[in-house]
Amino acid sequence: MADSQTVRRSRSRGGSLIAPAMLGVLLLAAVGVAVYMWGRVPSKRPPAAQRATADLRTGRDARQTSGVREPMPTGDIPGWHEVFADSFNGRTLDRSRWRVYWGPAGGDPAAWFSPSHVSVSKGMLVISAYHDPAEGDRWVTGGVSSSPSLVQAYGKYLVRLRVEAGTGIGHALLLTPADGSWPPEIDFSEDNGRTRDRTQATLHFGVDDRKVFRSLGVDLTQWHTLGVEWTPRMLRYTIDGRVWATVTGSEVPAVPMALAVQTQAWPCTGTWGVCPDSGTPAVVRLYVDWAVAYAPAAIR
């Protein structure tokens, strides 16, 4: 049994003994309870009211652990005008909306992207990481950018995704300058390949790549909607419809940027990422159910 249980015999304060017939009944009941409970794990979930008010920073409230697919939102929402949406319902990636990565990743000698690692299947974008014989049997991943169709300064972005576990394979949802300059960069969900129990949001700024970090505990192997609301001098990071962190100040960029989704393998050196090891699955996939972007309604 996962949790031992003790059945205490009742005895009166005066020490009187229970009749033999009654003792037999109690013993049979105790045996029945033991058989029923054998191998069962008692529920450790807190009451619904407690789950609903859990600290968002822990990533353990009911919404953040439910992990179910949800319909893509459609149309304008208060304060925002929809300018981009893709539910990946076709047979192939819509190249009028997305540009596909190929080649090395800047700043990461272990990362290599290939269009062959990006596909659309069963209504989802799938980015697969695996040793690719066509690329020297190295770890190869994929990425896409909205730069063919969506480039704007300021906006609200939502991406519904989940990422399979796999040491050394990190994911990133980010906004990056469409002209190829860097920084700035807004990562509204990323991890370093160590685990999938936490996401980090990072604002990169300045010629010396200064950073503002925010971190949230959440099970990324389950479905979640990660997002960012980017307005002048403010970033509001969201998960499943709720703001979990805010960054304000002149460091927030104001240049036109594109949305990107990617995974990448990390090197075995450095202080940020961890590299794949013997326990990393042969294939590690990122799934995107849908992606939606909005422009501020006030500047339509």
- Residue 299: what pLDDT? 60
3-state secondary structure of 50: helix
Q: Is residue 173 part of a domain?
A: yes
Q: Is residue 44 part of a domain?
A: no
Q: Which tens digits make up the pLDDT trace of 244-265?
A: 999 999 999 999 999 999 999 9
Q: Is residue 3 part of a domain?
A: no
Q: Is residue 50 part of a domain?
A: no
Looking at 191-276, which runs of residues are DSSP E strands?
A: 198-205, 210-217, 224-231, 234-239, 242-248, 257-265
Residue 150 φ/ψ, nearest 5 degrees: -135, 110
Owner of token pair 């730069």: 147
Question: Do 184 and 247 meet the contact criterion of CB atoms below 8 Å apart?
Answer: no
Q: Is residue 140 part of a domain?
A: yes
Question: Do 160 and 135 meet the contact criterion of CB atoms below 8 Å apart?
Answer: no
- Domain region containing 145: 56-299
- Residue 106: what pLDDT? 78
Q: Is residue 6 part of a domain?
A: no
* Residue-wise DSSP of 184-195: -EEEEEE--SS-
Closest CA to 126 of 115, 137, 135: 115
What are the structure tokens assigned to 193, written together?
A: 């390949």
- Residue 258: what pLDDT? 98
Q: Give 261's strand partners.
A: 144, 173
Q: Is residue 282 part of a domain?
A: yes
Number of Cβ within 10 Å of residue 15's Cβ equals: 6
Indicate which CATH number applies to the domain containing 167. 2.60.120.200
Q: Is residue 36 part of a domain?
A: no
- Residue 110: what pLDDT? 86
Closest CA to 262 of 39, 155, 108, 84: 108
Q: Which tens digits make up the pLDDT trace of 118-145?
A: 999 999 999 999 999 999 999 999 999 9
Q: Tell me which DSSP letter residue 151 carries.
A: -
**Which residues of the chain are modeled with pLDDT < 50?**
1-66
Determine if the pTM surpasses 0.95: no
- Residue 49: what pLDDT? 29
- Residue 67: what pLDDT? 66
How many domains is the chain partitioned into structurally? 1
